[in-house]
Amino acid sequence: EPEVTQTPSHQVTQMGQEVILRCVPISNHLYFYWYRQILGQKVEFLVSFYNNEISEKSEIFDDRFSVERPDGSNFTLKIRSTKLEDSAMYFCASNLGAGTGELFFGEGSRLTVL
């Protein structure tokens, strides 16, 4: 069964450093997303991406965050100048189209900022 894959599963970084989280969405999907979940809190929307551009972003997604689809398979989230409060589980998700709606999530990348 097709699935969304994410790497790394866990990344530890020092405050102020840059991190890149990688995702391979399901191959025929057209919409891509990043969500995050701080420990013990709700899953929160960060950004949606379609046709090589951001279609929507939340207030969490400030100018330290960026997304990219560098090739036909990968979708990345970059966080510059990391802060302690960026520590969270980051989930990548994809779906076939806005009309179908069902989102499929990856296993997540746990980011720990020290």
Partner 1 sequence: KQEVTQIPAALSVPEGENLVLNCSFTDSAIYNLQWFRQDPGKGLTSLLLIQSSQREQTSGRLNASLDKSSGRSTLYIAASQPGDSATYLCAVRPDGTASKLTFGTGTRLQVTL
- Kindly tell me which residue out of 23, 48, 67, 87 binds partner 1, with binding defined by CB under 8 A: 48
Site for partner 1 in 69-108 (CB under 8 A): 91, 93, 95, 98, 101-108
Of positions 34, 35, 61, 75, contacts partner 1 by CB under 8 A: 35
- Residues in the interface with partner 1 (CB under 8 A) total 28
- The gap from C-alpha 8 to its chain's centroid, in whole angstroms, comes to 12
Among 43, 74, 85, 114, binds partner 1 (CB under 8 A): 43
**How open is the CA angle 96-44-6, to the nearest 5 degrees?**
55
**Distance in Å, CB of 16 to partner 1, minimum:** 27
Q: If binding is defined by CB under 8 A, does position 56 make contact with partner 1?
A: yes
Q: In whole angstroms, give the CA distance from residue 97 to residue 29.
A: 7
Of the pair 86, 106, the CB lying nearest partner 1 is at 106
For 106, list phi and psi in degrees, rounded to 5.
Answer: -85, 180
Distances 34 to 46, 55, 99, 114 between C-alpha atoms, Å: 5, 12, 19, 22
Q: With binding defined as CB under 8 A, does residue 25 bind partner 1? A: no
